[in-house]
Amino acid sequence: MSHIVILGAGLGGIIMAYEIKSKLRRDDRVTVVNLGSTYSFVPSNPWVAVGWRQPDDITVDLVPILKQRGIELRPEGAERVEPASNTIRLNGGEVIGYDYLVIATGPGLAFDEVPGLGPDGYTQSICQTGHAVQAKAAFDKFVQAPGPVVVGAAQGASCFGPAYEFAFILETALRKARVRDQVPMTFVTPEPYIGHLGLDGVGDTKGLLESALRERHIKWITNARTTKVEPGKLFVEEVNDDGSVKTVHELPFAFSMLLPAFRGVPAVAGIEGLTNPRGFVVIDKHQRNPAYPNVFAVGVCVAIPPVGKTPLAVGVPKTGFMIESMVTATAENIAASVKGEEPKAVASWNAVCLADFGDDGIAFVAQPQIPPRNVNWSSQGRWVHAAKVGFEKYFLHKVRQGKSDTFYENLVLDMLGIKKLKEIHMETAD
């Protein structure tokens, strides 16, 4: 009998649990370790922050679902992974063992790297549903007393789509509230150009996003290093290509949302051989850690080098569609390992993003995510908003049903010219 532990019950972790359970032998055990017993659909947080969704609309109680699937849930969360002894120390002190571990924690949020940043400081966040609820309260007050808005991301961020999404969703919400004419908006980003997205652009994301910002009268600052935040004031250094300071901006705001830099979570950060200096898990092409071959990782916690050199730190995003291919490859490889076989599955790492603007949106496909690519495409239209809503409903239904199938995703991707969402490459025997 093998015991597989999955650390984290986010987008990657919960689907990992369902998929690996379906591939194992009857007597093999699967345990999910998570801080809390609730799944939250993070891509919907921008809608929560302007009142278009309630938290209950996008959350799922995992207790009855995992029990029905024969998967154990440990909601204490992990204090520390100890890979040398194949154990995890839970919050509270209990230690559990594993034969195989899948790390799917998502990121640690480095608000502390910029003084005054974040929900405990002076800006809002949409990184967690609780943050989005707090942002909604601030938004309601803001609508009653409008003023300047600053939205964007701090240096070191690695998922820029939600920043763009929130800027446009907020702009749409302000128009619906009939106060947009009282709100100057500025988008700040460490990207070297609008639409870089940590991927050196995909298709014409630069042109599409610049045009969308101009059309909605949103100004922007690129190569922006946020140095500190004070009440109602954001301080930004705009840098040259060599990293030297070009201009210093002091941006007043009545409402602001900035994504922070990401790093690894404390439970795994600083473990030699397991993580890089930022705490992200190092993996090989089989999603497996080279130092600890029985440890795998999927999702945002995975270490991926930057696409290219940029004046400021710009991380590579890990989109939901890309993560699902990681999950499928990992499930195949653990199932093979349990049977005494060598892992052979390699994830496609194809990236598909549906960026909602509230009334329309932009979709892009990068196949694979890291250049050079076989597919490098982007498009704008109202259909993107409809597709994003549909994906939210379908994914939450899938989580509630305890399934990992991808009929809806494959249907959408067929429309985009991609034949298979969870496409993986199975290596041939030597």
Tokens of 142: 């803001």
Tokens of 13: 């972790």
Other Cβ atoms closer than 10 A to 382: 11
Residue pair 188/236 in contact (Cβ under 8 Å)? The answer is: yes
CA atoms within 13 A on the CB side of 373: 21
Euclidean distance between CA atoms 382 and 372, whole angstroms: 29
Tokens of 50: 């302007």
Euclidean distance between CA atoms 316 and 257, whole angstroms: 20
The residues that are catalytic are: 159, 353
Residue pair 168/284 in contact (Cβ under 8 Å)? The answer is: no
CA atoms within 13 A on the CB side of 260: 28
Tokens of 179: 């106060």
Pairing relationship of beta strands 424-426 and 345-347 according to DSSP bridges: antiparallel
